[in-house]
Each structure stands twice: as structure tokens, then as C-alpha cells.
Structure 1
Amino acid sequence: MPKIEFSSDQLPSHLNDRARFRLWHEIWMEQLGNAEMKHAEDKPFFTASTNVLLGELSVSKFATTTEHYVRTRKHVAHDRDDILLGFYRSPQPQLWTAGNQGFEMKQGSVLAFNVAQPVSSFTNGVTAWNLASIPRAQILKLVPHADDRSAMLLDPANPAVRHLERTIKFLLDADEVHETPELTQHATTMLGDLITLALGARGEAAEIAAERGLRAARQRELIAILERRFAEPSLSIGMLAGHLGLSPRYVSNLLLETGTTFSDRILELRLQKARAMLSDVRYDLTKVNDIAFACGFNAVSYFNRRFRARFGCSPTQYRGGHV
């Protein structure tokens, strides 16, 4: 199963918090690795997690009221050997110890750590993470220094780190990634490339990862912005480029690689929105002119002309069912 979802709501309701925590602990160890954990007994037990498998890589998110988390040499001796990149999402700080290093994780902190090394953490409240996992042997071929330290903080402002977090969120929500082997392979490659860049790849490995992973992530982010903001009449290539910190020419080329220009994609999004509004009974009393403006068109005559060219009838005829 490519996606595994679990929450404390699925545990037997007749059990008390201590028993529910023990049962979850057994399930958690089987899925995610062995560790000593202690529940914050002054809080009702809560946990929710999602794990998406992409071959040997994975992305996940979880939130829990677990207070103490400890992995000793005994736990890691016969367990998984991955590098995890974690984005800390809880407003409560978390204190980490890895090797001879100590970290105070705050909301927005990003940590890379080797799960084959002993670690411990403490949180006074709910802890929440978004995570990406890659086998250590795989990443060391591309980033030989990735396990120089048991754990290291990453710069949240690094473009590769930012795109990695957005990609994790996307993969957690995008069920269609597993619909074909080609989509799964594309998603796995993009995730691996972004992990490689986030961990500081150099030379040829960085060039390849940047060309594939970062470019694909930027394309996805660009399309997501267009789908959110297409109805803004003033939206332009320049505005998008400024928002993403890229050049207008680079943004234009990214869109061309997806098979369409900026103007054509915006026009199609606006026309599809207008068609949906014209067929929605909630907008029966809304004037066609107002629908055109709500969808981002500046001129009604242009809207009418493009609508007829796209759907073979005028907006008024479409609303009346003459299609």
C-alpha cells in the first residue's frame, strides 16, 4: 500500500490513554523503527500520521503528544539506515540531542539526521513534523558528507529546502502519483533530487539534481500559483517571476516545457471558470458581464469572442443550454 494513514481515533475507544499509547507504540515501532517513548500523561493521548512510500524513499507527516523519544545503540543496531530531513511544525519547542550536539527545534526549523545514530528529544506539548526519508547508502553516493554529523540544521531559506518542503506536502496529498509507474518514478526522482540539493550536493551531482528536481518543483509551484491567481486581471509573467525570485524569461520557458504559454494557460483557466459559473444555478442571476470580470477578463467583447471560439457558442447561449 503506497499510503499509510493512522490516527488515535482508530484505537479501541474502551482503552484508557496509557493502554492506547502502548498499542500505538507497538504499531509505530513496526512501521517507523524501534525507540523508547513516553507519553505526556498530563495530556489526552493523540496521534495522527500519514506515510507515502515511493520505492525506497518516503515522505510522511505526524503529530503526537509523545513527550520523550529516545533511540539508543540497542535500537539502531538492527534497524533502518536512512537519512531523514525533518521540517518541525509544532509551536512548542523540541529539545534534541544527537551525538555531542544539542538543538532547540522551533516552528520552521529544518533538521537532517541519521536514524542509524542514537538520538533523543523532549517536547512539552504536541510535536509535529513533515519528513522525507532516503536510504543513507543511496544519498552518500551523491553527497558524501551527508552523514558527517549525526544531525545538522538546514537553512529554511535555501531554495532547495523550501521546494523540498512543498514537494513533501504535495506528495502527501497527491493520490494520483501512484496511478501509473511513470508518475511514481517522476515523483521519486524529483524527491531524490531535492533531498540531494538540500543536503548540499556539489559538482555534477548538484548540476543534475538542480536541472531535474529543482526545475520540476518550480514548474509545479508556478502552475499552482496560476491556478490560485488566474482571476486577477493584472497577473503577468513579470509578477510571477518577481514572486518566485526568477527571471521572466526563465518563468516563460518553464511554462513552455509544460506544453503551453502563460497567456494560453491563463486564458484556458479563465474560460473554464466562466463556463463553470454559467452552468451553476447559484449564478443564474449574475450578469454575464460580471462573470467575465470575476474570471479575470478586462473586456466583455474579448471574453465573448474567446468563449465562442473555445466552446462553439456565446456565453448567453451556453447558459441557456443551447450547446
Structure 2
Amino acid sequence: MPVLKKMLSTDMLPEGLSERQRFMFFAELFEHFSNTGELDPAEDVPFRAAMNSIHVGTTMLGRCDGTFTTVRREKRQVLATNDDRYCLARNTGSRESRVTHRGREFTMRPGSMALLKLDEPFFAADGMNQKRFTNVHLPMATLKALVPDVDNLVARELESGGALSLAMDYSDLLLRHPGAVDEAGFAIANHLMDLAALGLGARRDVAANAQRGGVRAVRLQSVLMILQKRFAEPDFSAQKLAAAAGLSERYVNELLYEAGASFTMRLLELRLRKAAELLAVPAGRRISDIAFDCGFNDLSYFNRCFRRRFGLTPTAARGR
């Protein structure tokens, strides 16, 4: 499944522009970046905006943070894009946002979500001079097949928590670590659809599959990302990994074992691979320093593990 990543920020604009010129320049770029809506800048603070998105087939993950007071999807964008997807949006800002969609006005509190239809206009405003939100665009036909009465949930505030919040947390995580999408784009799109369907009230048979697939897969991905980031900590343990992921240690061990290797095996493999990478640098640092920096507390243990894993000693591996 094709993956496309986009970024846009006011930091990319030329220097020396007036505030009006900066916004007009950005608005033109934004129309090419994502022709899903328009922004109205705040008048009491300098204009600033940053957004990025990941497109996996027809599924899109995106987030936006900027000093604007309203977000609008006009009829012209609806006609120009012919977009037949739902938009699951979460207010990640600190203030309430008022939304008008399908003739209904409702409030999105911080952390809450809403389901919007991109084939109809919408308008979001709250008078504040900053907006921050995350959104996921999902194919309409697929979601309707999984949740037949999903249209009843459009244009109303959806409480935070459960599978919907997990879907948005997963999206935020991937937007911060977009490299993970390159390796598993198709699976990620499926997991997001599973979570959205589960959170929106999927049919009983669909919900069972989503619970087994989407939720566990997303939690496993989160666990693996934490492990990848913290494996070099000398005292890192399964207990600390579980605490960082907000899960029980038993559940984390089950996830890792189901995925093919225990916590201990994964931790050792990550440390040894990092050590091998550092040893490959000719005339680099001392072997003992490399071992300790990769999380090993005992040099003799490191030497034994390294030789067993790669078939040669750390000294022999130097510069290879």
C-alpha cells in the first residue's frame, strides 16, 4: 500500500514578509498540502502553524497546531475533492472548540473527539487564538460496513477513552515516528480501522476480530517503540517497560511472546546490534565504554553474548 508523508510549517516561509503576506503565502501552500479546509488567523498574535500528515492508501493521519481562530470546510472544497471519507478528529488543545456540522452545533472539550463527513461542509470556532487537533480520515464505505448505523454518530461530541482514544494515541505516536509506517503501512491502516470500528460500536462479530487484532497490535507497536527508545538504559526492565506503556507486566510479556520473542531476548538483541554498529567504526571508542553505553553492566557478560551472537569477539569485530 503506497505511503505518502507531508509536512508544512510557517518556518518554511521566506523571511521578510509582513504578517498578512505570511498568512496568504501559507494559505496557498496549505491548499496544495491538504485541500480539506480553510484557516482564519488570530489577529492578536503572530501567525504560526505546523502540520504533518501520513497517507496510507485512502487512510490519512494528520495533526495541526497553529494560531488560528477557525477551521472551515467550505462547499467549494467538498465539490473540488469529492472526498467520501469520514474524519475522526480529536481536540488536543487546552480549550473547548465549537463545531457546526450537518445543521447541528456541538462542543468538543479538550481530549474529546467528533466524527465528521468530508462530503459535507463544517465549521469550527471558539474565539481562542490557537488550535491543536489530530485527525484520521477513514474510507466511508468500509466503516459503514463495519458499523451500519455510524451516521448516527456524526456531528456530536464523542467522549474520550476506549478504542477511539487508543486510535488517536496510535496516530499521534506514528506521526512522531513516521518511519514505522514505511515498514507496516497496510497493517497500520487496518489497525486504525479496527480501533475506530470498535470504538464506534461495530457489529458483534466485527468487534471480536477488532479486539483481537487492532487493540493488541497497536499496544504491541507502542511497547516496541518504547523498547527501541530505552533499551540502552542499564536498569531497564519488563516492569519499567510496562509502566511506560501503561499496561501490566504480564500483558506486555504476553504481547512480546506472541510476536515471536521475549522481553529479555529483544532487549539483548537491541543492545548487541547497537554495540556491533558502534564497533564497526574504525579506531572508535573503547570496547568497555561501548558495552556500558549499550546497557551492559558486566564486560565479561557482554563479551560472551557478543561472541555467541556474531561468532567473533568484540575486538575482532572492530572496524568490520
TM range (shorter): 0.7 to 0.9
Matches within 5 A, 1:206-217: 206-217=207-218
2: CA distance between counterparts of 1:95 and 1:2? Answer: 31
Amino acid in the other structure paired with 1:199: L
Q: 1:65 to 1:248 in 2, by over 3 A?
A: closer
**What are the ranges of 5 or more consecutive residues in structure 2 without an aligned counterpart?**
none
The alignment partner of 1:148 has SS state of helix
CA distances 1:75-96 after superposition (whole Å, capped 9, x unpaired): 6577534322223333455343
1:132 Cα deviation from its structure 2 partner: 0.6
By how many angstroms is 1:221 displaced? 1.1
Q: Which residue of 2 aligns with 1:196?
A: 197
Q: Name the residue aligned to 2:135.
A: 131
Q: Against the structure 1 CA distance between its residues 40 and 255, is the aligned structure 2 distance closer, same or farther, given a 3 Å change threshold? A: same
Query: Does 2:109 align with 1:105?
Result: yes
Q: Partner letter of residue 120 of structure 1?
A: A
Given candidates 83, 89, 94, the residue that maps to 1:86 is: 89
Contact 1:112 1:152 in 2 (8 A): yes
Go from structure 1 to structure 2 and tell me whether the alpha carbon gap of 1:31 and 1:144 turns closer, same or farther (over 3 Å shift).
farther
- Alignment-derived partner of residue 222 in structure 1: 223
Q: Distance in 1 between matches of 2:203 and 2:64?
A: 31
Amino acid in the other structure paired with 1:65: T
Q: 1:306 to 1:105 in 2, by over 3 A?
A: same
Instruction: Check conservation: 1:252, 1:261, Cα contact below 8 A.
Output: yes
2:162 to 158, 164, 178: 158
Shift of 1:166: 2.4
The Cα shift of 1:170 comes to 1.0
Q: Would the alpha carbon gap of residues 51 and 227 (structure 1) be closer, same or farther in structure 2, given more than 3 Å must change?
A: closer
Q: Could you tell me which runs of 5 or more consecutive residues in structure 1 were left unpaired when the two chains were aligned.
A: none
Q: Which whole-Å CA distance do the structure 2 matches of 1:172 and 1:247 have between them?
A: 24
State the number of aligned residues: 315
Could you say what the CA RMSD is over the residues aligned between the two structures, in angstroms? 3.5
TM-score (norm 1): 0.78
Label 1:241 to 1:163 Cα distance change in 2 as closer, same or farther (>3 A).
farther
**Alignment match, 1:263:** 264
Q: Cα 1:131–1:273, aligned 2, differ >3 Å: closer, same or farther?
A: same
Cα deviation 1:88-114 (Å, max 9, x = unaligned) = 3334553434444431533x4433333
In structure 2, the CA distance between the partners of 1:3 and 1:270, relative to structure 1 (3 Å rule), is: closer
Distance 1:55 1:283 in 2: 44
1:18-64 alpha-carbon deviations (Å, 9 max, x no partner): 34434544554565446564322333333332222222211112223
Choose which of 145, 149, 153 in structure 2 pairs with 1:145.
Answer: 149
Q: 1:119 — aligned with what? A: 123
Shift of the 308–67 alpha-carbon distance from structure 1 to 2, 3 Å rule, reads: same
Q: Counterparts of 1:284-295 in structure 2 under 5 Å?
A: 284=285, 288=288, 291-295=290-294
CA distance in 2, matches of 1:174, 1:226: 17
* Contact 1:51/1:59 (8 A) holds in 2: yes
**2:302 counterpart residue number:** 303
Q: What percentage of residue pairs aligned between the two structures are identical?
A: 33
What pairs up with 1:234-253 in 2 under 5 angstroms? 234-241=235-242, 243-244=244-245, 246=247, 248=249, 250-253=251-254
- TM-score norm. by structure 2 comes to 0.79
